[in-house]
Amino acid sequence: MHAVLIESFGGPERLYIGEWAKPHPGPHEILVKVEATALNRADILQREGKYPPPEGESPVMGLEMAGVVESVGQGVSKWKPGDLACGLLAGGGYAEYVTLHEDVALPVPQGLTTIEAAGIPEVFLTAFQALRWLAQLQEGERILVHAGASGVGTAAIQLAHTMGAHTIVTASAAKHPICKELGAEHAIDYQGIDFEDDVLEYTHGKGVDVVIDFIGGPYFQQNLNVLAYEGRMVMLAFLGGVQAGQLNLGPVLRKRLQIIGSTLRARNLDYKIRLSQDLYHFAWPLFENGRLRPVIDSVFDWKDVSKAHQYMEENRNQGKIVLKVG
């Protein structure tokens, strides 16, 4: 089969399509012919040599995909050839075929194409884990989502809205309309406004109950300052760096704050199965009735994968960037 490979660590120009060994489904696994995969920031870091796959996982990039089941392994009872499936991967999505556990795989929601479904697994599982499992977001609470127009951001806005929360986002001004369309009640232009002052003014000094952060060091102090009493901050990435400078940690004890870090790629199989099935029962009816939707910014042929990576690095996307495979 063919897959997107990395000639050597570096820029987007190092990517090419080459020959790679076709996987075979083991017990309780399915083999999927990939029709589409989607880009994630982790792919860029892996291409640069900064984020290797977990031990034993495919070195091919790609953390999610959608396609057609081609064959099933021993003991599989939920799937048959011809079924449409999507799912979370620890790697291997930038390829013509992938294998995954039958309980991590999820059916493509009725009414959606595989192009659309490829934009669901990584971002909605990440956002669902952050909001429901980690922050335990409750109806009526206030939540601040940074990078609101990113893939995870657009998923988090929608999920928070369905959970009855009040959502504030940070995003560049040009991306505010999509955030509000998805359910954000207030959007802050991080390029021109101090989000701490804006959040406190908007909430009449009360702050927010939950912060979902991808930026890291540069936002850490402000995040502590905008959290309300008993507030929870979930940190999912460090796109702005890991150094926070001089900090005043007083709010952590004074307001009894929780700071939660999480990654998903290296979680064990049991965790991924439980999370995938929980999201399925919560979100699939909402995808099928239109209350949730994957936000697809653009679709690239996988032959143009270098252009797709460059596009993401320029922060031009609002939602997911999808690669059409084959």
pLDDT digits (tens, 9 = 90+) for 245-285: 899 999 999 999 999 999 999 999 999 999 999 999 999 99
Q: What is the DSSP string of 225-247?
A: HHEEEEEEEEE---TT-S---S-
Report the distance separating Cα 254 and Cα 251, nearest Å.
Answer: 5
Flag whether pLDDT at 193 surpasses 90. Answer: no
Report the distance separating Cα 68 and Cα 120, nearest Å.
Answer: 16
Residue 48, token pair as written in the block? 């640069």
Domains in the chain, please, with CATH?
2-120+265-324 (3.90.180.10), 124-261 (3.40.50.720)
| Mean pLDDT computed over 304-323 | 97
| Mean pLDDT computed over 139-151 | 97
pLDDT digits (tens, 9 = 90+) for 205-229: 999 999 999 999 999 999 999 999 9
Helix, strand, coil share of the chain (percent; to 5): 30, 25, 40
pLDDT digits (tens, 9 = 90+) for 117-137: 999 999 999 999 999 999 999
Flag whether pLDDT at 192 surpasses 90. Answer: no
Residues 6+ apart with CB under 8 A from 211: 143, 144, 146, 223, 226, 227, 231, 232, 233, 234
| Mean pLDDT computed over 318-326 | 96
pLDDT digits (tens, 9 = 90+) for 68-79: 999 999 999 999
Position 87 scores a pLDDT of 99
Flag whether pLDDT at 86 surpasses 90. Answer: yes
pLDDT digits (tens, 9 = 90+) for 227-241: 999 999 999 999 889
Containing 211, the helix (H) or strand (E) segment is: strand 208-213
Amino acid sitting at position 154: T
